[in-house]
Chain A
C-alpha cells in the first residue's frame, strides 16, 4: 500500500516535471500582435511588419503616457515565418499571433499572389483565421500600420471595427476573413474580393502622437474600393458603386443608404435600405449558361426634396419603380466591370451553376474564366418602400406650395 502511494507520487512528479509547462507563456512575455503587413523587399523576400500592442499604454490608469499605444516590429526574410521569428532580433517579446485582427498586403505582393503567405498563416495553429485581409492602396503595406488613430487607441482595432461597421452599414466594402478568402481562392467558379485601404493626409505625421492632438488628424486611414482577384492575384479595382453592386448581388448588404432622382423635376429622394435578399438562379439557354439575379429590398425614405406628393399609393409605387431601375443599373455596372474590365467571376456565378448543373459544369470548369465574360446575366429587383419617416409630404413641396416663386 505504502509502495503504491509512493509509486503514484513519483509518477505524478515525473509527469509534472517532464511534460508540464512546455508551452507556458506568461502574459507579460507576449508581444500581442494585432495587425500584420506584408511587403516585398526586392530580392530579399518578404518584409513583414507587426503592430504590437504596448499594454500598459492602452489600459493605462496611471495617466502618464509617454509612448504610443502600439509599436511596429519588422523583419525581412524569404518566408513569412522566418521573418516572424527574426523579429526577436529587435523585439524583447515573442510575437503572439492569436489575436491578429488585420492582415494588410501591399499592392505589389497582391499582384504577385498571396497564396503562399496565406497558406503559411492558415497552416500555423497559432493564427486564428478570423482576421480581415485588406490591400494597401497607394502606399506600402507597412505604412498602413504606422498611422495612429483617434477613438480606438489601437490602430488595428480602429481598422477592424471600421471595416466591420462599414461592411455592415455602408455597403461598398467587404469584411473578408482569411478562411473565407482562402476558400474562394481554392474553389472554382468564384473569385475572392478584398477591400483596399488608403492613407489620407500626411503619412509621416500620422505615426507620431501629435497626430492625435488635432481635431482633424493629419493622417487618417480609409477603406476604399474593392480589390478583385483571380485566384490569389490582384487584377484590378472596383469603384464604390461597382463594389456596392457586387455586394447586392452577393447578398452581403445588411444595411445601406442611397439616393435616387425624383419622379419629376429636380431633387433626390434618399433611402435607407433595411433588408435585402438576393438570389442567383442559373439557367441553361441553348446549352449555354445564363443567370437570373433576383434582389428583394425593403427601404424607408429618410429624405425627400421632390415636389411630388408621397401621400398616395401611386406615388410610392412610382418611387419603388425608380429605385428598382437604379439598383438594376448599379448591379449591371458591377457585372459589366467584372465581366469585361476585370474578367473575374467574383459573384460566384460559376459556383451557383455547378450546384444546379454539376454535370454540365465539368465541361465549363476548365475555361470558366474565358466563358464568364460572355454569359448573359439578367437582373430583376423588387424594391419595397415600407415607411416614409415622420413627415408626410416633403417640406420643400410644402414651401413651394405656400410661397410660389
Chain B
C-alpha cells in the first residue's frame, strides 16, 4: 500500500521522445539486468530507432524473420513523411511489420509491462509513443500425460505451464462461440495472467460475477500457482475440505464447463481450478464417463466406501479393540488378542505410531530423488511391515489397518479430498481412543454438520444430497447412462438446460 503513490507516478510517466533517454530509463528501471537487449538501428535505412526485448522471452525466429527483416527493407521514404514521425510509425505498423499483435504504448509503465510479458518494443527516435510487438516465445514443456490424475481410458493430454496452451487445450474441446475467456493480471509484482473460462448461457451469471469479484479483490504481490488464488477465493479457510476443484486434465475442465462451472487458469501452472466444487465432485473421475455406466457406478460406490475406510478404519480398530470387544466374533477376538500379546503400547499409541510412520514414508516418497527412491521404499516397507511386527512393537492387524487406510485414501480421485480425510483421521483416532464408538459418532456428526454448512461459491457443498436434488442424484453415487442424464446438473449452478434435446430413438 505504501508504494501506491509511487506506482501512480510511474503510471503517469510518459516515454521520453529521445530514444537514448528511453533506453537509459528502461535500463535503469530494470537495474541494468543483463537479459535486456537493446539495439539501435536505422529502420528502413532512414529513421533511427531502438528495439528492446528481453532475451529468452522472445521467439528469436519471429524476431529475425518478421521484425528485423521487415524493418531492414530498403524503401525510399516518400517526401510527405519528412518530419512527421507519427506517420512513419503508422506506416511501419500498417505496412511493414509482419506480426500479429501490436499495441501502441505511450507510458513508460505500459512499455515495461509489455517488455516483461515478452513483447518487442520499437521506438522511433523523437517520438514519445512506441510499438509493442507481441513476439513472446519461450522454452515450454510439451503437452504430456498428466501426472496426478491418470486414467486407463480417455485423453492422455495434460495442461502445461503455459496459459495460452492451456486455454487452447480447452477450446479445442469446446468449439463454441459461447466459450468465453477473460484474462486479468493478478499479483503486484508477478503480474501473473489469470484466465477465467466459462460457457456463456450455461454457467450461471451470478457465479461468474462472484468469481470475477473475488479475483479482483485479491491483493497479493505474487501468484506462482493456482493454490495462491485458491486460498483467497475459497468460501472459508476454516475447513479441511476443499471447496475448489483442481485438475490438470483438459477433459475434466471441459466437462466441468459444460456442467455450468467456471474454470480459473493461472499462467505458470498446469493445475486449473474449477468452481463451484461440491463434495460429490471430488469422487468423480473423468474416466467414469468414458466407461460403461454400470462399472462406473460400482467404482463410484467403492470410492465412497474408501472415503469412509480411509477416514475411519484406524479409529474403528481402536474403538473396537479397546472398548467394544464384545462386538467381535469370538474367533476374531482371540486372534486379535493373540496378536496383541506382548505389544507394549496401547492400541491408540500403536495406531498413531504406524499412521505417522506411514505419513513420513509418504512425504519422503514424494521428496526423494528418483535414483534413491527404490532403496528407501524397500527399507520403508520392511520397517513398517515385517520388522515392526516381528519385533513385537506393533501387531500385524495394525499393519493391515494402516495399509488399507493408506491405499483407500488414494482411491479418492482428487488429492484435496484425500488430504482432508488424512487429517481428520487423526482427530477421529483420538476421539475413538477416549470415547470409543461414542466418540467416533460425535466426530462424524460434527463433520457432517460442518459439511452441510459449507458452501462453494454460493452453492451448498453437500448438494445434491443436502439439500436433496432428486434429478441430480443420477450423477453422484451412481452414474446413469448418458441417455438418462438429459439435463445438466442443477447443483453445479447452471440453469439446467437440456443436454440431449430428445430422447434418442432406438435403432
Q: Could you tell me which A residues sit within 8 Å of B by CB distance?
A: 16, 19-21, 23-28, 30, 32, 34, 53, 55-56, 58-60, 96, 98-99, 101, 128, 154, 157
Q: Is B342 an interface residue (CB 8 A)?
A: yes
User: 1/0 per position for B302-329, CB-CB distance to A under 8 A?
Assistant: 0000000000000000000111011000
Q: Is B333 an interface residue (CB 8 A)?
A: yes
**B341 adjacent to A157 (CB under 8 Å):** no
Q: Find the B residue at minimum CB distance from A154.
A: B334
User: Chain A residues near B341 (CB, 8 Å)?
Assistant: 28, 55-56
Q: Is B338 an interface residue (CB 8 A)?
A: yes
Q: Say which size band chain B's interface belongs to.
A: 20 to 34
Cross-chain contact of B325 among A34, A53, A58, A96 (Cβ < 8 A): A96
Query: Taking the nearest CB of chain A, how far is it from the CB of B93, in angstroms?
Result: 58
User: 1/0 per position for B327-356, CB-CB distance to A under 8 A?
Assistant: 000100111111111110011000000000
Can you report 14 A-B residue pairs in the complex whose CB atoms are below 8 A from each other? Answer: A16-B430, A20-B434, A20-B439, A26-B346, A27-B322, A27-B340, A28-B343, A30-B325, A32-B330, A56-B338, A56-B341, A58-B338, A59-B338, A98-B326
User: Chain B residues near A96 (CB, 8 Å)?
Assistant: 325
User: Chain B residues near A55 (CB, 8 Å)?
Assistant: 334-335, 337-338, 341
Q: What 3 A-B pairs come out closest when comparing CB atoms? A: A20-B434, A98-B326, A59-B338
List residues 266-321 of chain B with CB under 8 A from any CB of chain A. Answer: 321
**B330 adjacent to A34 (CB under 8 Å):** yes
Q: Is B435 an interface residue (CB 8 A)?
A: yes
Query: Taking the nearest CB of chain B, how far is it from the CB of A73, in angstroms?
Result: 16
Q: Is B433 an interface residue (CB 8 A)?
A: yes
**B338 adjacent to A60 (CB under 8 Å):** yes
Bound form: Cα–Cα A101–B326 in Å: 12
Bound form: Cα–Cα A58–B323 in Å: 22
Query: Taking the nearest CB of chain A, how far is it from the CB of B434, in angstroms?
Result: 3
Query: Taking the nearest CB of chain A, how far is it from the CB of B353, in angstroms?
Result: 15
Q: Find the B residue at minimum CB distance from A21.
A: B434
Query: Taking the nearest CB of chain B, how far is it from the CB of A207, in angstroms?
Result: 20
User: Chain A residues near B325 (CB, 8 Å)?
Assistant: 25, 27, 30, 96, 98-99
**B333 adjacent to A23 (CB under 8 Å):** no
Bound form: Cα–Cα A276–B179 in Å: 74
Q: Report the tally of A-B residue pairs with Cβ distances under 8 A.
A: 73
User: Chain A residues near B439 (CB, 8 Å)?
Assistant: 20
Among A28, A98, A154: residue with most chain B CB under 10 A: A28
Given contacts A26-B321, A101-B330, A128-B326, contact A21 B433 (CB under 8 A): yes
Query: Taking the nearest CB of chain A, how far is it from the CB of B326, in angstroms?
Result: 3
**B330 adjacent to A157 (CB under 8 Å):** yes
User: Chain A residues near B342 (CB, 8 Å)?
Assistant: 28, 56
User: Chain B residues near A24 (CB, 8 Å)?
Assistant: 322-323, 346, 433
Query: Taking the nearest CB of chain A, how far is it from the CB of B21, in angstroms?
Result: 55
Q: Find the B residue at minimum CB distance from A97.
A: B326
Bound form: Cα–Cα A328–B435 in Å: 59
Given contacts A21-B434, A59-B338, contact A27 B330 (CB under 8 A): no
Q: Find the B residue at minimum CB distance from A153.
A: B334
Q: Find the B residue at minimum CB distance from A61.
A: B338
Query: Taking the nearest CB of chain A, how far is it from the CB of B319, in angstroms?
Result: 10
Query: Taking the nearest CB of chain B, how far is it from the CB of A336, in angstroms?
Result: 40
Query: Taking the nearest CB of chain B, how far is it from the CB of A34, in angstroms?
Result: 7
Given contacts A98-B325, A99-B326, contact A27 B434 (CB under 8 A): no
**A59 adjacent to B330 (CB under 8 Å):** no
Query: Taking the nearest CB of chain A, how far is it from the CB of B458, in angstroms?
Result: 24
User: Chain B residues near A28 (CB, 8 Å)?
Assistant: 337, 340-343
Given contacts A20-B435, A157-B330, contact A25 B337 (CB under 8 A): no
List residues 422-447 of chain B with CB under 8 A from any CB of chain A. Answer: 430, 433-436, 439
**B322 adjacent to A26 (CB under 8 Å):** yes
User: Chain B residues near A26 (CB, 8 Å)?
Assistant: 321-322, 340, 346-347
Query: Taking the nearest CB of chain A, how far is it from the CB of B366, in angstroms?
Result: 32
Query: Taking the nearest CB of chain A, how far is it from the CB of B318, in angstroms?
Result: 10
Cross-chain contact of A25 among B322, B333, B335 (Cβ < 8 A): B322
Bound form: Cα–Cα A172–B423 in Å: 58
Q: Find the A residue at minimum CB distance from B318.
A: A24
User: Chain B residues near A20 (CB, 8 Å)?
Assistant: 433-435, 439
**A32 adjacent to B322 (CB under 8 Å):** no
**A16 adjacent to B434 (CB under 8 Å):** yes
Cross-chain contact of A27 among B321, B430, B435 (Cβ < 8 A): B321
Among B337, B339, B436: residue with most chain A CB under 10 A: B337
